Amino acid sequence: MSKGLDTNIMIVGGGPVGATLALALQEAGVPVTLLEAREQGASHQDQRALALSYGSRLILERLGLWTELEPKATPINTIHVSQRGSFGRTLLKANEHGQPALGYVLSYGALSAALDNAMKNFPGISIVNGAEATAINPASDAVHISYRHQGREHAYSAAFAVLADGGRGLGDIPGLQRETKHYGHDALVAKVQCELPHDNIAYERFTAAGPVALLPNGDRDFSLVWTGKAEEVAKLLKLEDEAFLSALHEHFGDRVGRFLTVGKRLSFPLRLSYLKSVTAPHLAIIGNAAQTMHPVAGQGFNVGMRDAWELAQMLAQTVPSEWGSENMLSAYQSSRKTDTRSGLIFTDFLVNVFSNDIVGLRKLRALGLGLLDVVPLAKNRLVGKMSFGPKG
């Protein structure tokens, strides 16, 4: 076992959030070491469709990556929100809110490739691919990280480390408490093609079984996110393509015509999960590792991007001897609290209020959607929140 002491900031996890942090720190010349469990390039083919808010686009612009990514991203110019079994609906339009787009759909693989390539240009970023952190122990003097690389165990102690592992790899960190609510629902994701062109409209439809979204992705495709009870989603996964497409038509209605083709179908469980505190001595936790949300409003990924950006700004403004100090960590924690909590509450509210079949609620929801459509202030606030978080 090798023992190392380093003055670099250690980032565990080089997904979109960890990589964004590493790059954002380069403007201030802050050296980082990044441990990534996957081999170089392993995520570049991941077709998962991320819904980027306009605020995330601005972060990527600041990193100098948007020119390269824009041709691969599909703008969302209108969001059409409706509910099954009711006439209430609302339209959110980019041009009514002074934005070129409400958001963008971009594949996880394209974003990862752009971030990975950009990181190669900075000598201040040392990436260790194929390195899996196995334990993180915050202590009073430093944070102690164990990791496995090329069959050997390593130990690393840093004055400051950031965990951005997506919340999957490590289990619980001593001293941190996680709250989790399982919805008992899964999300089925797939690319679909329909009869009608998408015209850069994203559809969000609330049904008693759970929300279903169609996000424009590429010239002709939509990325489908169909949520429902885990056992129902399991049945949908097993259907032949033809039967699946007619079930989708039945569930979604006629707005985009008939559904013609469907690509590979995948599913994942939906949960709301967050850490009560996103810091521990000498450690901050960001992105999906800190909070996981229902995908209903496309908030989770964007909150993670803002975590990375805000932490980088805070580190750049703090003298290195204070990195990881109690003062710095508590300032970071309070700067992120409102954004994270409001994202969690907003998505949970949408799931609870819009996805059940209580008759009174259904009428209220229809009224709510209709009202939203005629009250410009309410719409502006909703678009601002979805685009920029609480500062919107």
Ligand X SMILES: Cc1cc2nc3c(=O)[nH]c(=O)nc-3n(C[C@H](O)[C@H](O)[C@H](O)COP(=O)(O)OP(=O)(O)OC[C@H]3O[C@@H](n4cnc5c(N)ncnc54)[C@H](O)[C@@H]3O)c2cc1C
Q: What is the 3-state secondary structure (H, E, C) of 13-71?
A: CCCHHHHHHHHHHHCCCCCEEEEECCCCCCCCCCCCEEEEEHHHHHHHHHCCCHHHHHH
Residue 17 touches ligand X, criterion: CB under 6 A: yes
Residue 92 is encoded by which pair of tokens?
A: 């959110």
Question: Of 36 and 221, which CB lies nearer to ligand X in the complex structure?
Answer: 36
Residue 36 is encoded by which pair of tokens?
A: 């990534």
Residue 38 touches ligand X, criterion: CB under 6 A: yes
Q: Is 67 left (phi over 0), alpha (psi -120 to 50) or beta?
A: alpha
Residue 169 touches ligand X, criterion: CB under 6 A: yes
Residue 166 touches ligand X, criterion: CB under 6 A: yes
Beta strands in 278-388 (DSSP E): 279-280, 283-285, 291-292
* Exposure letters 36-59 (e unless 16+ CB within 10 A, then b): bbeeeeebbeebbbbbbbbbbbeb
Residue from 9, 10, 12, 188 binding ligand X (CB under 6 A): 12
Residue 204 touches ligand X, criterion: CB under 6 A: no
> Cβ of residue 317: shortest distance to ligand X, in angstroms?
23
Question: Of 88 and 138, which CB lies nearer to ligand X in the complex structure?
Answer: 138
Cα angle for residues 134, 112, 382 (degrees, 5° grid):
105
Q: Look up tokens 């990527």; give the residue.
A: 60
Residue from 165, 186, 221, 310 binding ligand X (CB under 6 A): 165
Question: Of 35 and 284, which CB lies nearer to ligand X in the complex structure?
Answer: 35
Closest CA to 329 of 291, 287, 283, 290: 283
Binding mask 252-281 for ligand X (x = CB under 6 A): ----------------x-------------
Residue from 49, 59, 65, 248 binding ligand X (CB under 6 A): 49
Site for ligand X in 77-136 (CB under 6 A): 132-133
Site for ligand X in 214-243 (CB under 6 A): 225
Q: What Cα–Cα distance (Å) separates residue 48 from each residue in 112, 189, 296, 305, 370?
A: 11, 8, 15, 17, 32
Question: Of 18 and 324, which CB lies nearer to ligand X in the complex structure?
Answer: 18
- In the complex, which residue's CB is closest to ligand X? 15
Quote the CA–CA distance of 116 and 106 in Å, as a whole number.
16
Choices 32-40, 67-75, 204-212, 251-259 (CB under 6 A): range interacting with ligand X? 32-40
Residue from 103, 109, 300, 324 binding ligand X (CB under 6 A): 300
Residue from 10, 30, 32, 50 binding ligand X (CB under 6 A): 50
Q: Look up tokens 């569930």; give the residue.
A: 251
Choices 15-23, 94-102, 152-160, 313-321 (CB under 6 A): range interacting with ligand X? 15-23
Indicate the Cα dihedral angle 349, 351, 356, 360, nearest 10°: 30
Residues that bind ligand X (CB under 6 A): 12-18, 35-38, 48-51, 132-133, 164-166, 168-170, 189, 225, 268, 287-289, 295, 298, 300-301, 304
